[in-house]
Amino acid sequence: MAEKFLMRFLLDMPLFFDTNILMKRPIYLDFNATTPMDPLVLDAMLPYLKDEFGNASSNSHEYGWEASRAVSNSRKSIAEKLGALSKEIIFTSGATESNNLAILGVMHNFRNHRSHIITSEVEHKAVLDVVKSLEAWGVEVTYLKVDKYGRVSPADVGRAIKPHTRLISIMTANNEIGTINPIKEIAELAKHHGVFFHTDAAQAFGKVPLDVKNMAIDMLSISGHKIYGPKGVGVLYVRSQKPQVHLHPQQFGGGQEWGLRPGTLNVPGIVGIAKAIDLMFSNHETDSTHLLKLQKKMIETVLQKVNGSLLNGHPEERIYNNVSFSFPNLSADMFSLGLNGLAVSSGSACSSAEARPSYVLTAIGHSDALARATLRVGLGRTTTDEEVDICITKILQLSKKSQEIGH
């Protein structure tokens, strides 16, 4: 039956596809996967890719001094945005490395003790795979379930804490369905019990207010390419007092970044992520107003006009650029065929392609088939009303065509 359904759909493709769209690049609506670099970020980086090419560790001449100043100024600027101290900002290659350094670095301190970690079932693989590696070495792990919106309950966190719990790692916002977690409450619970708290803020940073001191966050991960900055650079915030977090380095070499992340500093990338963060804050009101309007328009129109469509994630507590729909009446094969001309995602784009359905979607109760028939639209700073209208129209056309073929 499915094969006949798909064949009928393919036969109707010439009528369904917009050949004009096929002649140009697709509309980019995958901003949760990555963002284009803001031109002002590139402008800030260019001097350090050309004339100011010095090594920030070269302290005997002007080239090194200028590179070092650029790193220091970037560190200070980022710290101010987080409510942190400059010395608490560690530069990495991205949120994946930041997550690895945070989790492995803390847990190394307890390698000769009974240890327990709390995380959730819907964390990014850059957290889950690290935790699983520790589990293989004897660390006890609790994987918290989430509600139908993909949200972690602070009460569940509190119940999971044990006398030997060392670390809690819960993401600020989910990369697939956009749900924002109650991070402040969870972090305060961790602090009350003397447990370190880490959050992967790659999707949320710049969209959700984050003050590490006021929110009792001990470690926080950021990635440059999620915030209109360069790829290959990230930040790890590490609390230095009340309590001080001691991380054991996972790499060894020249001693850069207080020995926690050795290697020649990526000066252009560091300048770039600092500029991107600065722009996220200065553009926040404009971006959020613009994208909330587009998000609301898409959600309301699709839910109203596509029979049976489901919004994934929390209806209100979600980052303003994420929209995730599942369509019970569509097969995943036809779903992808009907969206030509759009660069969208059917799930997380942060891991290699797999035949298995998204573990995030199955964790919130979706069947394998429904999880596969899911569309994630990532809106961005440059997304226009016209582009959103085209996306909505194509979803409606796909639904209509599916119903016609089904009958």
The catalytic site residues sit at 350
Copy the structure tokens of residue 164. Answer: 């030997």
Whole-angstrom Cα distance, residue 183 to residue 174? 12
Query: Which three-class secondary structure state does DSSP give residue 172?
Result: coil
Extract the tokens encoding 230.
């360069």
- Give which of 333, 398, 386 is closest to 18, Cα–Cα: 398
Under DSSP, the state recorded for 115 is -
Rg (CA), the chain: 23
Contact at 8 Å (CB) between 265 and 56?
Answer: yes
Q: Determine the Cα–Cα distance for residues 175 and 171; give it in Å rounded to an integer.
A: 9
Q: What is the DSSP letter of 226?
A: G
Residues 6+ apart with CB under 8 A from 143: 119, 120, 121
Residue 73: φ, ψ to 5°: -65, -40
Among 232, 246, 118, smallest CA distance to 186 is for: 118
The Cα–Cα gap between 388 and 367 comes to 28
| Dist CA 228 CA 241 (whole Å) | 31
Structure tokens at 332: 């995943």
What are the φ/ψ torsions at residue 142 (nearest 5 degrees)? -110, 120
179 contacts 147 by C-beta, under 8 angstroms: no
